[in-house]
Amino acid sequence: MIKHNSSWVLSLLLVILLLPALACGLPSQAAPTPTPQAKILFQDDFSDPNSGWDRRQDDDGVTDYTGDGAYRIRVDTPNLEVWANPGQNFTDVRIEVDATKVAGPDDNDFGLLCRYVDTQNFYFFLISSDGYFGIGKKVNGEAQVLGAKNLEPHTAIRQGTTTNHIQADCVGNALSLYVNGTLLRTVKDDTFQEGDVGLTAGTYDEAGVEILFDNFVVYAP
């Protein structure tokens, strides 16, 4: 037979009775506040060939819908930049797109445009299929990389024919480039305050670069 100590039993009963009261006195755990969804200002999955983007084909290259849910920029001339716009106008934006090289050399560049005023004036956000990146502007037809002398390498960029997710933030005078969720650089410049958005691709010594773009979205920052 097991013998119980009466004082120990009484203490145990008091603890059991006090537990619910203590629990009621504890501060309640508030549910986490959900992150608000950013407002979409414009988006295009390129399934509609009449959604407003440039459709052009000449000796320099092609800017057109593929017909199966992507947008194609092909550059058939060396040392040339080609771009396309949907005909919008924004001030502060966050732009995102998926981009995949499907043909041509890895020595290329491609990416996003913001505050596009005209063919001679805009900001650009570029990466390349051999792992380089840069933020820059074109003013009166003269291109300039901001925050560096030239495009620079970064390990966040997937090389070759692997898809990269590119994000460009144009907020106030701050211009930021993200690739695959990694911030590559932020620079400051106040040359342009508003304009169109766009896509771009370019060549260097070798022509034949072809980039497919998909899931283009413009958010309010």
Structural domain contains residue 93: yes
Tell me the per-residue pLDDT of 163-176, one tens digit each, with 9 for 90 and over: 999 999 999 999 99
**27 belongs to a structural domain:** no
Residue 190: inside a domain: yes
Query: What mean pLDDT comes out for the span 57-70?
Result: 97
Mean pLDDT, residues 123-146 taken together: 98
pLDDT for 36:
65
Contacts (Cβ under 8 Å, ≥6 apart) of 105: 129, 203, 204, 206, 208, 209
pLDDT at 38: 87
Q: Does 15 have pLDDT greater than 50?
A: no
Which range marks the domain in which residue 182 is found? 40-219
Does residue 18 have a pLDDT over 60? no
Please give the mean pLDDT across all residues of the chain.
88
Query: Does any domain span residue 83?
Result: yes
The verdict on residue 141 lying in a domain is: yes
37 band by pLDDT with thresholds 50, 70 and 90: confident
Instruction: Specify the number of domains making up the chain.
Output: 1
Query: How many Å from the N-terminal Cα to the C-terminal Cα in the chain?
Result: 75
- pLDDT on residue 22: 40
pTM equals: 0.83
198 falls within a domain:
yes
Q: What is the pLDDT of residue 130?
A: 98
Please name the residues in contact with 210: beta carbons below 8 A apart, sequence gap of 6 or more: 72, 73, 74, 75, 101, 102, 103, 104, 201
Domain assignment present for 9: no
175 and 163 in contact (C-beta within 8 Å)?
A: no
> Taking the CB of residue 204, how many other CB atoms lie within 10 A of it?
14
Residue 12 domain flag: no
pLDDT at 29 over 90: no
Q: Which pLDDT does position 19 carry in this prediction?
A: 42
**CATH number of the domain within which 120 lies:** 2.60.120.560
* Cα angle 35, 37, 43; round to 5: 155
